[in-house]
Amino acid sequence: MEGQLKKKLIKYLLEDKVCNLVTEIFSTEGESVPAPNTEVFLRRSIIEPAEPGFSYQPLLLKEENTLRFFEPIAKEERLIILGGGHISKYLCEFAAKTGFAVWVIDERQEFANKERFPEAKNVICGEFKTVLPELHINKNDYVAIVTRGHSCDGDCLYYILTHEMPGYLGMIGSKRRVSAQFTMFKGMGISEEKIAQVHNPIGLPIKGVTPPEIAVSILAELILTKRTKKTDGKVQTELDYEVLSEWLSQSRPCAMATILKAQGSSPRKEGAKMLIFEDKSILGSVGGGLAESKVIEKGCEIIGSGKAFLFHFVMDADVAARAGMACGGTFDILIEDVKF
C-alpha cells in the first residue's frame, strides 16, 4: 500500500499536479482521539483539489476518534530568471539553496549554459519573445527580470503583464527609470492593478551595491512573498522538497518526523519534515534545539519497528531559559518508521 501511494505521489509531481496527502492517525488503545506521547497507527490516502476537504495549507483536524492531517503536495516553486548576467549568477545560486527550482533564460550562449549556472534546474538559450510563451508562467511561479538592458527588460515585462500573472514579478531598475514604461503600458490598456503588482525596484531596500548584495536583496523579497502572500489556489507549505524526494525514493532505513501543529515561537511550522537515520544523521529540520534532539532520539528508537508515535513537546519559559533559548512553544509531531 505504501509503495503504491508513493508511486501515485511521484506521478502527481511529474505531471505538475497538486494533491493532498491525507494521514489519518488512530489510537492503539481503542476508539478515541490519540493521546499525546502515545503509539498510534496510520492510514493514508490522496485527494485532489476538487474533492471535499482539500486544503492548500497544512491542516490538522480533530474528529470523533481520529486526527486527520491534510498535507498539500506540489512541485517546488519555480523561479524564472530572465537574464544571465552577474546578478543572475548569484541569485540562481542563493535561490537554489533555499528551495526554489531555478530556470535561467538568456539570448546569449555565453550567458546561458549549465557551466555558468550549475545549480539551475533548467537553462535556456533563446530569444525572450520565443521562449516566454513556452514557459507557461502561472501564479505558482516567481519571475525576476534582470536582462542585459532596459529595453529588453520592458519587452519581457510587457509580455508577462499581458498574460497570466506570476505569484511574484520583479524588475530591476529605478522607479524613475521605469515610470515612463509604466505610463506607456497604461496607455496600451494594461490595468493599474497589474502594474502595481510589479516589484520595482526589485528586492528589499538593504542598500545593496555589488551583484551578490543585490541578489541577496532579491532573494529576501522572494522569501518574504513566499511566506506571507496568500493566493487562492496556491500551495502554502513548510515542506522541504529534498526530504520529500528522499522519502519517495528511500535508499536506506529511516524514521520520518512531520510537524502537525506548532504554536508559539517555533521556527518551523506545520508540514515541515525531517528524516532521521540510524547513525542519528538527519535530513531536513523540525526546528532545531531541544525539541528536535528529542525527536531524533525517538526516531532512532523506532527505525525498523514499523511503529508510529505522536510526540507532544512543550517548552515553557522556564524550560526555554534552562536550554539557553529566548522563548518556547508547543509542538505536535508525528514520528514514524519508514518502511524500507
CB 138 within 8 A of CB 110: no
**β-pair type (38-47, 273-277):** unpaired
CB 221 within 8 A of CB 199: yes
Angle between helices 175-187 and 150-161 (to 10 degrees): 40
Is the torsion defined by CA of 125, 129, 133, 137 positive or negative?
positive
CB 241 within 8 A of CB 99: yes
Three-state DSSP state, 128: helix
For 291, other C-beta atoms within 10 Å of its C-beta total: 26
The whole-angstrom separation of Cα 320 and Cα 324 is 6
pLDDT of 326: 47
The CA–CA distances, whole Å, from 156 to 103, 143, 168 equal 15, 10, 14
CB 203 within 8 A of CB 170: yes
The whole-angstrom separation of Cα 304 and Cα 175 is 59
Pure H helices in 206-251? 211-228, 241-249
The whole-angstrom separation of Cα 157 and Cα 174 is 15
pLDDT of 328: 59
The CA–CA distances, whole Å, from 78 to 29, 118, 162 equal 44, 16, 20
Running DSSP on this structure, what letter comes out for residue 170?
A: E
Element (H, E) at 120: none
C-alpha cell at 246: 528522499
C-alpha cell at 112: 546561458
Q: Which residues of the chain have pLDDT under 70?
A: 1, 232, 315-328, 340
